[in-house]
Amino acid sequence: MAKKSESLTFEQSLTSLEKIVTELEKGDIPLDDALKQFEQGIALVRQSQQKLEQAQQKISILLDDNGQEQLVPFDNNGDQ
């Protein structure tokens, strides 16, 4: 990966994760390379989670500042 994971956008991180998963699923890479890719994937996941948490905090602050409703957890069970 050319860029450090900290400088990637959320979308770039997801793309990188998809590539890593594809390579690992093939199962034809040496163990040391697989471990390095796995480690890189974990770092990307952590960075992505942090960016999502920051975005959620920012949204909460913006909604609170404007006197609007609080965020509610998203329920993706297909119920509408």
Whether 1 maps to a domain, the answer reads: no
Q: Into how many domains does the chain fold? A: 1
Q: 1 or 52: whose pLDDT is higher?
A: 52
Q: C-alpha distances in angstroms, 73 versus 25, 28, 80?
A: 32, 40, 14
The position carrying tokens 């890719």 is 37
Residue 50 domain boundaries? 9-65
pTM across the whole model: 0.69
* pLDDT tens readout for residues 32-79: 999 999 999 999 999 999 999 999 998 888 877 666 565 667 666 655
Q: Does some domain include residue 60?
A: yes
pLDDT class of 5 with cuts at 50, 70, 90: low
